Chains A and B, each alone.
Chain A
Amino acid sequence: MLSDITLGQYFPAKSPLHRADPRLKICLTIFSIVLIFCAGNFFSLGAAVAYIGLGMALSRIAVKLYLRSLKPILFLVVFTAVLNVFYGTGEPLWQWGVFKITQNGLVNSLFVSIRIITLILASSVLTFTTSPTQLTDAIERLLRPLSRLRVPVHEFAMMMTIALRFVPLLLEETDKIMSAQKARGADMESGSVLQRIKALVPILIPLFVSAFRRAYDLAIAMESRCYHGGGGRTKMKVLRFGRGDWLVLGSAVLALGAFIALNIVFPPAVAR
């Protein structure tokens, strides 16, 4: 079922990470992604992975769910890994015609796979522990300096909130429409590619119709509550940077220090 997709979903729980300031969490996610990409050897990469692992542990969310969020990108990981194996330089360990495998290729492929996987895990930590409203709230706050440049930050944030809010609704709707058409014998699981694309028509048309209807209803509901944009609007839940957040920030500084040290001390592993 569609609801089995965990990528980008929020799981409510009581954990230090759920309580942390969403602005900080966004910054830290970007921070750890930067770390992963700056890592030049396995030691510094290990430090970055350990940091994200710490975040996963602190989120108090089952590892199984994190693993499930990797499922949609498994193909990408395997694909890049296989590609990298054959594109290494140096002495071949194994050769068959133009195909050769070198030690450098194997190392590269392992490195890239870890990178992609941790990338997804890092963003999963953010979305698993932060509700969509918190997320957009934080983004709005972080982007506020841009409103000086006449960028309509509030409007963007509102659009994002609405879009995120509608994702589960539309998923549910898709599920319902799919069931209804399946009940009428629609066949979506077999046939050629062309037939499968054709089989989507009975689902997409009702879905679009209902999306437009919902958008229209929402616009009327917002207008009848006198929504007029961001000017002078206050928040029900004001974001506060608390003591716990300073601790988290401190951990990031420590991680960065360790990371730079490891990156300099050990030689780079990925040679091209």
Chain B
Amino acid sequence: MTAFSGLRERRGKAYRQAYGSARRREANGLTILETKNLTYKYGAGTPFEKTAVEDVSLSIGKGEFVGVIGHTGSGKSTLIQMLNGLLRPTSGQVLLDGQDIWQEPKKIRQVRFRVGMVFQYPEYQLFEETVLQDIMFGPKNMGLPDEAAKARAVQAAAFTGLKPSLLDESPFELSGGEKRRAAIAGVIAMDPEVLILDEPTAGLDPRGRDVLLAQIAQYHKERGNTVLLVSHSMEDIGRVADRLLVMNDGRKAMLAPTKEAFARGEELEKMGLRVPQVTKILQGLQKLGFPVDPTALTVDDALKQLIPYCKQRQAAGPL
């Protein structure tokens, strides 16, 4: 028992705040982002031509938290770059609030303010003299006056858990984890309606990963924004996402509620993906005849059913 409580202790306060109370926000039925037969080809017309995304149609509701997973090279990075107009689709459409984002190519910047995008290893985009100025880069590009941009930057920094004392430092003096937070704050400061994060936890230590994920979940809960989280880690995604988009070979393989998707574990494994270890253990236990619910996605959820069961067994005495 002490081992279990120790585990929970290590997860820290932010984690419990984010997951302990009100869980996921239900999508309220309105669609914010929609794609229609989206296709993208790299290097069209050269010997290197490669179709990265093929015929993807999906719709994402307002306020949803969608996890995006897929094997390396499954097209997920290309797909999300089309969602905020960084890549122009070879064919197909991206609709934001029902409007084709490429209807007026000159106004594509407005789309990028509404669909915020945090790239993989975003710390490499830092360039300003101070962290605060760097976070203000986005809001200032939106045309906000200095004061408003600063207010937003300070708020965004607080969201990502960046210490206020760091704001006047040079971004190049920060530690790796702090740089990552500063870079994420730089996108959050634009207050986008949809926030896309590409592997935000890559290269962080397990603790840093948990804390950052919890903060993203917290941000989603407080602001009610739509969040798309791309990750390799099924554990991470299982914890936070309402729905799961599974990409395979440039195509949409699945778009289903998280639990439902993980229940199709065999299909996922064929695509080179694994369900969370704890889910797998529970699935194994169920096969052995134990009365457990195999759709639990996190260690905490699993403990909630296993501990009472163990106690009950102990009370009943040795078999």
Which A residues contact B (CB, under 8 angstroms)? 3, 6, 11-13, 62, 64-65, 173, 176-177, 179-187, 201-202, 205-206, 209-210
Contact of B43 among A3, A12, A183, A187 (CB under 8 A): A3
Q: Does B125 contact A (CB under 8 A)?
A: yes
Interface contact A185-B141, CB-CB below 8 Å:
yes
CB interface residues, B 79-128, toward A, < 8 Å: 81, 84, 86, 109, 112-113, 116-117, 119, 122, 124-127
Q: Does B63 contact A (CB under 8 A)?
A: no
CA distance A180 to B86 in the complex (A): 9
Interface contact A183-B112, CB-CB below 8 Å:
yes
CA distance A201 to B129 in the complex (A): 12
Nearest-neighbor residue (CB-CB) of B119 within chain A: A180
Interface contact B125-A177, CB-CB below 8 Å:
yes
Interface contact B47-A176, CB-CB below 8 Å:
no
A185 nearest CB across to chain B (Å) = 3
Which A residues touch B75, using CB under 8 A?
none
Q: Mark B173-209, 1 if CB is under 8 A from A, else 0.
A: 0000000000000110010000000000000000000
A223 nearest CB across to chain B (Å) = 24
Contact of B124 among A176, A185, A201 (CB under 8 A): A176
CB within 8 Å for A205 and B127 given contacts A183-B116, A187-B109? yes
Contact of B190 among A13, A179, A185 (CB under 8 A): A185
B113 nearest CB across to chain A (Å) = 6
User: Considering the complex of A and B, which 10 residue pairs feature the smallest CB-CB distances, nearest first?
Assistant: A185-B141, A205-B127, A180-B125, A184-B138, A183-B117, A180-B119, A202-B127, A179-B86, A206-B127, A206-B124
Interface contact B47-A183, CB-CB below 8 Å:
no
Which B residues contact A (CB, under 8 angstroms)? 43, 45-47, 81, 84, 86, 109, 112-113, 116-117, 119, 122, 124-127, 137-138, 141-142, 172, 186-187, 190
CB within 8 Å for A11 and B47 given contacts A182-B112, A184-B137? yes
Which B residues touch A6, using CB under 8 A?
46
Contact of B47 among A13, A179, A181, A210 (CB under 8 A): A13
Chain A, interface SS category:
helix
Interface contact A210-B119, CB-CB below 8 Å:
no
Interface contact B141-A186, CB-CB below 8 Å:
yes
Interface contact B141-A179, CB-CB below 8 Å:
no
Which A residues touch B124, using CB under 8 A?
173, 176-177, 180, 206, 209-210
CA distance A202 to B138 in the complex (A): 11
B40 nearest CB across to chain A (Å) = 12
Nearest-neighbor residue (CB-CB) of B118 within chain A: A183
B163 nearest CB across to chain A (Å) = 22
Interface contact B109-A185, CB-CB below 8 Å:
yes
Which B residues touch A210, using CB under 8 A?
124
Which A residues touch B116, using CB under 8 A?
183
CB within 8 Å for A206 and B47 given contacts A184-B138, A184-B190? no
